Structure 1
Amino acid sequence: MSKATPPMLRMLNVLLLPGARSRKDPDATFEKLLAAAQHGRRPLGPQDLTAVEPLRLLLRAHAANPHLSPFGWTTVQAGIRDRLRNRVIVRDIQARHPQVREQPVTAPVFVIGLPRTGTTFTYNLIARSPGNRGPLLWEMLNLGLPVEDPAERRRIAERTTKRLSVMDRLSPDWSQVHPLIATSEEEDFFLRDHSELHTTASTVPAYREYLADADLTDDFVLLRQALQVMSFGQEPHRWILKHPANLWRMPEILSAFPDARFVWTHRSPGRALASGCSMSEALRNMHYKPGTVDLDAIGAEWLAMLSDGVDRALGQREQLDDDVLVDVSYSDLVEEPVQVMRGVFDHLGMTWTADDDANLASARHRPRHRGHRYTLERYGLDELQVAAAFAGYRIPSVLA
């Protein structure tokens, strides 16, 4: 059953209706987005212009979706403009400060795993350990050189918080699905061009086909360069990063970060699948015309995306050296978090300290959102289908 469209979203769709005509010519729209991203900064060179062409493909795919609302069309344009702007900002700063390319990014840790497998819990504990850091959401949404003035940092974070609060007014479910906190660590998706996450708000089969065969090494090189910009001139910290779709991109990550390490969190995939479908439903309720969200289609898309991704990741891990990846079972993490996380720290060459004990205690006692409920059946799926699709996936247990 579709949910009622919030009044604010209905109003925005009316106000934005005239601009929706631009979807008839997505190439012209892309050129305008590119021009806007480059305004006042050095224009991109030929190599970068070639690199951003798949974003043009993404915009075309969105434009071809007949269910996309005026607000949805406006939002996907903004997302692509942000990606173009990130690249422009990185190149502009590299040109003005060539030494930024020498900023160390040493042995970063990528927390990988399907949604709802303990990735955020694990990520936050590692990122908040002394000597480490994860990219904060406000930093990624305002990419640039480090802001040294604490008062200015607070002002930027407050502006970002106000910007993000609009999501809650447009979708009452969003704060339960994936709350966005400006001052907290977030996924590196916000610094990169490409991810399957672009397909959650709108059905874009042409872009999905591109991702299936794409080598995203350039995307992760751009991530590395953005991290250099964000930390330029500061005492080097070990970067800790997370995004679910990084799970099946380990070779590309290692091409850009040869000394990277991976922490793979595991849980029964049914829970992850239902959660991803729920996130897609919430996003499509915002981006689609009323009554056009197809829940069964969401289920089919996510089943294929996650099962194919896990199969790819299983094949990729066979090519890794033993010290590159460490596994974390969600059930182990719940049962014995100290033992599990100490083992992870040991594998990563880190020392568990009293600060980490305090971080763990804080994370375990943090209030949890109870309102987010999701089931496979809502999206036309059942446990037998999931078991068949993930037949080759076995969850390791350190404590077993």
Structure 2
Amino acid sequence: MILNPAKLLAEAEQHTGLNDYGDDSFPERFTIAMAQLQKLGMDESGQQAAAKVAVGLVTSRLSFFNDHKTIPGLADEVIERPLFATGEPRSGTTLLHALLSVDPAAQSLRFWEVMYPSPPPGLARPDDPRRALADDDWREINSMAPDWLKIHPYNDMLGDGLPECERTWAMDFRVMTPTAWWKAPIGMYVGGMPVDAHAQYRIHKMMLQHCQYCPDKIGPAKKHWALKGFHGPRLKAFFDTYPDARLIWIHRDPVQVTASRIGMAAALTKAFARGKVDVSEQASIHLAATRAGIQDTMNNPLVDDPRIFHVRYKDFTGDPVGTIAKFYAFAGYDFTPEAEHAMRDYLANNKGDRYGKFVYAASDIGVDIAELNDEFAPYRERFGLDVEVR
């Protein structure tokens, strides 16, 4: 059997000379992940590709945890007052993240850092080969999924692009994000993996420590973190891990969120699964995901936590920089002229449709839109949203 978990773990251990996974439950979780992959019915070449990805992620994990054990001071790095962007998928959070990241006083994770995290990226020289390796990875991804640049033009940043927080969990085998699994023909893989929010944020915080670590750095004071992820369903663990964090949350009409999600998922599934895609199946998956997210938002008392700054999508898209200035004031950060200039420069030079316009339609959801509008009316009322007409 190609996707034999014991053999794959042994291969990673032999490659690294390490066997401490930093979590006693990891081998069991890895076994579950391999079983999920076996259910997908990949041919032999697909299984070989998946096995290679799996071993690569396990190898990264072993080296990552070994760094934290053996490098003096790494585990003592303090993550102070980080800023996070969140919201339902397709609600403008990636643009928000990009703008937060260009503030000269901010630091953000980069794809090359989370794809190849060991040794700590803060120790890397400008010519570190991991940068070029991640650039090549992204050229391959973009060539496989050219529509992704229409959907997500920020992918043109290649290895220097901005990963979502969930990408730090790829080596924990709790998610199978396309940016880790594009070499395997598994499409947009959703669900089926064990979830433990506190364990996931433990990995996330370790990654921030990993990328912040640079004991010999000479220069300005430490920068604040500017990050993005889908933190709404995990607010308890999020704030337990980052009690001094501030979170800006964009709210958009859930019907348009769902339609855009379906269009994105259909395009990426077709690209990465190397075949046809059932749009109605993707519609069912992503309508259910939106419903679950909205239900959690409506029922979770932590949504009203005073550390969260809620924003309407139309207000953010109407005045992105002004919205961020208000968020900085809320978070107790200075909105400097340098930050404003960098953000306005980014907007002027990175048009959202620079690779073509991403077109999607509410009709792709496959249900009665009037009924769906009624279903989401309480959410829109709570956050002051109008029905978005496109």
TM-score, normalisation: structure 2: 0.82
* Alpha-carbon spacing, 1:81–1:286, altered in 2? closer, same or farther (3 Å): farther
* From 107, 121, 131, the counterpart of 1:146: 121
For 2:27 and 2:210, locate their aligned partners in 1 and report how far apart those are by CA, in whole Å: 20
After TM superposition, list the pairs within 5 Å mapping 1:16-27 onto structure 2: 22=2, 26=3
For 1:80 and 1:249, locate their aligned partners in 2 and report how far apart those are by CA, in whole Å: 26
Residues 260-292 of structure 1: per-residue CA shift (max 9 Å, x gap):
22111111122221222222212321343634x
* From 69, 73, 97, the counterpart of 1:95: 69
Residues 188-219 of structure 1: per-residue CA shift (max 9 Å, x gap):
22211334857993566644xx4xxx332111
Partner of 2:85: 111
Is it true that 1:304 corresponds to 2:281 in the alignment? no
Partner of 2:239: 254
Partner amino acid, structure 1, of 2:273? Y
* Alpha-carbon spacing, 1:264–1:83, altered in 2? closer, same or farther (3 Å): farther
Q: Which moved more, 1:364-373 or 1:136-145?
A: 364-373
In structure 1, stretches of 5+ residues that fail to align are 1-20
Q: Does the 8 Å contact 1:37/1:84 carry over to 2?
A: yes
Partner amino acid, structure 2, of 1:252? A
**2:121 aligned counterpart, secondary structure:** coil
Is it true that 1:171 corresponds to 2:158 in the alignment? no
For 1:250 and 1:76, locate their aligned partners in 2 and report how far apart those are by CA, in whole Å: 32
Q: Does the 8 Å contact 1:108/1:240 carry over to 2?
A: yes
**1:230 aligned counterpart, secondary structure:** helix
Partner of 1:335: 318
Partner amino acid, structure 1, of 2:81? A
* Alpha-carbon spacing, 1:86–1:325, altered in 2? closer, same or farther (3 Å): farther
For 1:287 and 1:375, locate their aligned partners in 2 and report how far apart those are by CA, in whole Å: 22
For 1:313 and 1:381, locate their aligned partners in 2 and report how far apart those are by CA, in whole Å: 22
After TM superposition, list the pairs within 5 Å mapping 1:175-214 onto structure 2: 175-179=149-153, 180=155, 181-192=158-169, 193=172, 194-195=174-175, 197=177, 201-202=187-188, 206-207=192-193, 210=194, 214=195
Partner amino acid, structure 2, of 1:44? D
Partner of 1:37: 12
Q: Does the 8 Å contact 1:41/1:88 carry over to 2?
A: no
After TM superposition, list the pairs within 5 Å mapping 1:253-272 onto structure 2: 253-272=238-257
Q: Does the 8 Å contact 1:265/1:329 carry over to 2?
A: yes
For 1:156 and 1:205, locate their aligned partners in 2 and report how far apart those are by CA, in whole Å: 30
Give how far 1:309 is off: 1.9
Q: Does the 8 Å contact 1:110/1:260 carry over to 2?
A: yes
* From 340, 360, 365, the counterpart of 2:343: 360
**1:152 aligned counterpart, secondary structure:** coil
Partner of 2:111: 137
Partner of 1:224: 205
* From 325, 330, 350, the counterpart of 1:347: 330
Give how far 1:159 is off: 2.5
Partner amino acid, structure 1, of 2:222? P
For 2:48 and 2:372, locate their aligned partners in 1 and report how far apart those are by CA, in whole Å: 35
Partner of 1:7: none
**1:236 aligned counterpart, secondary structure:** coil
Q: Does the 8 Å contact 2:91/2:250 carry over to 1?
A: yes
Is it true that 1:58 corresponds to 2:33 in the alignment? yes
Give how far 1:307 is off: 1.4
Paired-residue identity, %: 20
- Count of residues in correspondence between the two structures: 362
Q: Does the 8 Å contact 1:295/1:380 carry over to 2?
A: no
* Alpha-carbon spacing, 1:54–1:148, altered in 2? closer, same or farther (3 Å): closer
Give how far 1:160 is off: 1.5
Q: Does the 8 Å contact 2:82/2:224 carry over to 1?
A: yes
* Alpha-carbon spacing, 1:289–1:138, altered in 2? closer, same or farther (3 Å): closer
Give how far 1:101 is off: 1.0
**1:323 aligned counterpart, secondary structure:** coil
Is it true that 1:373 corresponds to 2:350 in the alignment? no
Give how far 1:221 is off: 0.3
Partner of 2:263: 278
* Alpha-carbon spacing, 1:95–1:206, altered in 2? closer, same or farther (3 Å): closer
For 2:27 and 2:310, locate their aligned partners in 1 and report how far apart those are by CA, in whole Å: 34
**2:16 aligned counterpart, secondary structure:** coil
For 1:101 and 1:242, locate their aligned partners in 2 and report how far apart those are by CA, in whole Å: 23
Give how far 1:50 is off: 0.5
Partner of 1:17: none
Partner of 1:396: 383
Residues 32-61 of structure 1: per-residue CA shift (max 9 Å, x gap):
33234332242125x614145334323322
**1:371 aligned counterpart, secondary structure:** coil
In structure 2, stretches of 5+ residues that fail to align are 386-390
